[in-house]
Structure 1
Amino acid sequence: MKTYIALLRGINVGGKKRLPMADLRAMLKDMGFLNVKTYIQSGNVVFQSHKEDTGGLEASITEHIKSSFGFEVPVLVKTKKEFENLVMGNPFTDSGAISRKQVYFVLLKKTPEKERSATFGRETYANEDFTITDHCVYLLCKAGYGKAKLNNNRIEGKLQVEATARNYGTMVKLLEMAS
């Protein structure tokens, strides 16, 4: 049995795509997942399953949300080890920036095309630093994520890959919950 972390994009934001976490947990338990736990209202889930195909898990969860709640939500599923590697790969380790909630992870659903990554990697943004990998764009938003020009939507547009953003604190908390 493996431990997984699922991240749902764009739920419970601005009154749209309302999905109570109790209902999400119940749906995932009905799907046969074990030890289902959620963290805050933005679609962060830790669960266990005998299934080994993260792509299949993503598709299955997406379809169940659509049939149960009536809307589509991009879902990203990572193994505990993959998630740990993402957290450990963060290049922005300044404790002050972390405590000021300036460090973000934009997790990519698939590896972006090399040319797109290279072109995007040459861009610059005031008060923002970033590093692109095959699975994540690490952000340092010196003026805060709410004021950042380089946000989830822009990254999706530049790389042409579905993505979802989480702050450093959420990433660490999910990893703790998976342990």
Structure 2
Amino acid sequence: MRTYIALLYSIVLTPQRRVVMADLKAMAEGLGFTNTRTLAASGNLVFDAPEMPIRELENQLEAAFPDAFGRHVDIIVRDAAGWPAFAAGNPFPQESAETADQVAVRVMRQPVPATALDALESYAAADEKIALVNGDIWIVFSRERPNSRLLGAVGHKRLGIGTSRNWNTVRKLADMVEL
């Protein structure tokens, strides 16, 4: 058995319905996953499953999701053993310590090529920062601009399937899976 982290793209299904974490756990347990637990009410699931390719786990979760919740949601899975190193690779430690809620990472299903970084930087405001680490996009968002142009620039249509998590969530997931 291995421990995995599943990150849902969006837990808002309709304006009236959100994914309830107890229901998400039940769905995962219905797939035979064990030791299921969630972090907050924001679509983060940690579970144990037999060792298998990540894409197979994503397929299983995504196939079960419409039956449980009524529509498709993209789900990114990572091996939990690598999550602490992922968190330690945060290229913005000072900003994370000062304003953790303004630092986020777009966790990608397929790595974003380095060539995309130049195009993304053109969307960043003067007080924003962006970095590419192992194919995932780390961003320090502006405190002055609540509607960053980077949000649209890192979306599915441009870069492929991914989901964003703020530094607090990344750090708490690392705490959950560290032995």
Question: What TM-score does the superposition give when structure 1 sets the normalisation length?
Answer: 0.86
Deviation digits for residues 80-117 of structure 1, max 9, x if unmatched?
1332222111110112133xx22111111102245434
Return the alpha-carbon distance in structure 1 between the equivalents of residues 64 and 144 of structure 2: 34
Distance 2:146 2:131 in 1: 19
**Partner of residue 125, structure 1:** 125
Matches within 5 A, 1:1-179: 1-12=1-12, 15=15, 18-94=18-94, 95-98=97-100, 101-121=101-121, 124-143=124-143, 146-151=146-151, 153-156=152-155, 159-179=158-178
User: Identity of counterpart residues, as a percentage?
Assistant: 27
Q: Which runs of 4+ in 1 moved over 4 A?
A: none
Amino acid at match of 1:43: G
- C-alpha contact 1:104 1:140 (8 A) present in aligned 2: yes
Displacement after TM superposition at 1:51 (Å)? 2.9
Provide closer, same or farther for how the CA distance between residues 63 and 91 of structure 1 changes in structure 2, counting only shifts above 3 A: same
AA partner of residue 92 (structure 2): F
> CA separation of 1:19/1:157 partners in 2, compared to 1, >3 Å: closer, same or farther?
closer
Distance 1:84 1:159, change over 3 A: farther
The alignment of Structure 1 onto Structure 2 pairs a total of residues equal to: 176
Describe the shift of the 1:48–1:155 C-alpha distance in structure 2 as closer, same or farther (beyond 3 A).
same
RMSD: 2.3
SS in 2 for 1:150: helix
Task: Tell me if structure 2 keeps the 8 A contact 1:120–1:159.
Answer: no
Equivalent AA in structure 2 for residue 64 of structure 1 = A
Contact 1:108 / 1:164 at 8 angstroms: preserved in 2? yes
- Cα distance in structure 2, aligned partners of 1:145 and 1:26: 39
C-alpha distance in 1 between matches for 2:104 and 2:59: 25
Shift in Å, 1:161: 1.3
Q: Secondary structure at the match of 1:147?
A: coil
Q: In terms of mean alpha carbon deviation, does 86-95 or 140-149 score higher? A: 140-149
